[in-house]
Amino acid sequence: MNKVCFIGNLASDVYFNIYEKNNRLTMVATVFVAVNQRISKKSNKKPAPNYIPVTAFNKLAEAMSENLHKGPKVGIHGRLQPKRWTDKDGNRRFDVGVIVSRIDFLSPKSASTGTDATTAPSDTK
């Protein structure tokens, strides 16, 4: 089973793009979500955020690009997607991102761009 669920704040504005392949358009939205790491109450350390790259496609990507901007709190549901590549120096690289299946807009209407705490429609690929 490959499922993730977390709550965090948008650490960047949504990057939205449309790609065409085989006469078919695909909308893609990517954003970083800052999720605070849990720290023991006894520790004097301030929680350090983890910046998680999340990507959505088609209708969900469109909803994200129209309704989200840097700052608001969101709930992300999705799956992990590993990425492997070789950089320009020939080094093998690895990264993990999240493919979004559902996003909950958790910030109040005044803190977001006109959306209240509702769920964007899910889009199946």
118: Cβ–Cβ under 8 A, 6 or more apart, which residues? Answer: 104, 105
Give a yes or no: residue 116 inside a domain. Answer: no
Instruction: Note the pLDDT of residue 109.
Output: 60
* CATH classification of the domain holding 18: 2.40.50.140
Residue 62, φ and ψ in degrees, nearest 5: -65, -45
Q: In whole angstroms, give the CA distance from residue 26 to residue 120.
A: 18
User: Would you say 60 and 104 are in contact if contact means Cβ atoms under 8 Å apart?
Assistant: no
Whether 125 is covered by a domain: the verdict is no
Q: What is the pLDDT of residue 119?
A: 41
pLDDT for 110 = 54
pLDDT tens figures, 44-75:
777 788 999 999 999 999 998 888 889 899 99
Structural domain includes residue 8: yes
pLDDT at 9: 93
Residue at 72 is within a domain:
yes
Q: Would 122 be classed as within a structural domain?
A: no
Q: Which helix (H) or strand (E) holds 65?
A: helix 58-67
Residue-number span of the structural domain to which 83 is assigned: 4-37+45-111
On the 0-12 / 13-18 / 19+ scale of CB atoms within 10 A, 87 is exposed
Residue 41: both structure tokens together:
């109450």
Residue 118 maps to a domain: no
> Given this model, what pLDDT does residue 125 score?
44
In the chain, the number of structural domains is: 1
Q: Residue ranges of the chain with pLDDT lower than 50? A: 111-125
Within a domain: residue 103? yes
In a domain, 123, yes or no: no
Q: Look at residue 115 in the predicted model and tell me its pLDDT.
A: 38
